[in-house]
């Protein structure tokens, strides 16, 4: 578990993720956390998105991914709903429909400069504190998706495709086993 920004980010349950997104301080953060939840995006990947990167899939361009490979994740119905609501809020905030080149999550007062990682982290920590969630970071969304998918029986190579990990070994770092799962395995 992450303590004082050290260690691994906590993985959250579906209920905790729902509560976190519901408690978001604005539609911007609800959409950001929804992108991360449903695509396993790293915070830097999510903040780099433009409106052009959404077209039935969320396209993380190779220039913005850690692995320097383009990754496309289909837009789930829940994510599509969150993005549709956010598009309305974005339009209201900026006074015009977003252009393809404009940032999905711009810095305050801009449409072309991305929100900072620090701003995203500060909002997340504030809400987690209010909800009593510990060990959460912006990376918790990736860990949560990977662990949840594996627990539901999704094959590792499919989880790897969603998360964009280059190897199953690096994906394995995200997959903690509960004490009950270890006991079940040994018998």
Per-residue CA distances from 56 to 32, 66, 74, 76 (Å): 17, 23, 6, 9
How do the domains of the chain map onto residue ranges? 14-186
Residue of 77, 11, 7 whose CA lies nearest to 40: 11
3 state SS of 106: strand
The whole-number pLDDT of residue 182 equals 43
The whole-number pLDDT of residue 168 equals 63
Q: What is the pTM of this model?
A: 0.83
- pLDDT (tens place) for every residue of the chain, 187 residues total: 444 555 678 889 999 999 999 999 999 999 999 999 999 999 999 999 999 999 999 999 998 888 888 889 999 999 999 999 999 999 999 999 999 999 999 998 999 999 999 999 999 999 999 999 999 999 899 888 888 888 888 777 777 777 776 766 666 665 665 555 544 554 5
Do residues 62 and 163 lie in contact, with contact meaning Cβ atoms separated by under 8 Å? no
The whole-number pLDDT of residue 3 equals 47
Condensed to tens digits (0 to 9), the pLDDT of residues 39-48 reads 999 999 999 9
The whole-number pLDDT of residue 165 equals 67
Do residues 100 and 5 lie in contact, with contact meaning Cβ atoms separated by under 8 Å? no
Question: What is the CATH class of 14-186?
Answer: mainly alpha
Residue of 182, 125, 120 whose CA lies nearest to 2: 125
Rg, Å, the chain Cα set: 17
Displacement of CA 147 from its chain's centroid (Å): 14
The whole-number pLDDT of residue 167 equals 64
Residue of 129, 174, 167, 115 whose CA lies nearest to 150: 174
Q: Please state, rounded to an integer, the average pLDDT across all residues of the chain.
A: 86
């Amino acid at each position: 578990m992450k303590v004082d920004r050290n260690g691994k980010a906590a993985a959250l349950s579906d209920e905790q993720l729902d509560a976190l997104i519901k408690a978001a301080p604005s539609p911007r953060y609800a959409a950001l956390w929804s992108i991360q939840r449903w695509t396993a995006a790293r915070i830097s990947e999510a903040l780099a998105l433009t409106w052009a990167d959404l077209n039935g899939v969320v396209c993380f361009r190779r220039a913005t991914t850690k692995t320097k490979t383009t990754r496309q994740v289909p837009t789930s119905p829940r994510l599509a709903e969150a993005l549709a609501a956010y598009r309305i809020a974005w339009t209201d905030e900026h006074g015009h429909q977003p252009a393809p080149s404009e940032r999905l999550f711009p810095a305050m007062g801009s449409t072309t400069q991305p929100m900072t990682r620090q701003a995203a982290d500060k909002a997340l920590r504030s809400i987690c504190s209010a909800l009593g969630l510990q060990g959460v970071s912006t990376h918790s969304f990736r860990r949560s998706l990977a662990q949840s998918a594996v627990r539901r029986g999704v094959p590792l190579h499919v989880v790897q495709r969603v998360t964009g990990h280059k190897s199953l070994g690096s994906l394995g770092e995200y997959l903690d086993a509960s004490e009950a799962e270890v006991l079940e395995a040994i018998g």
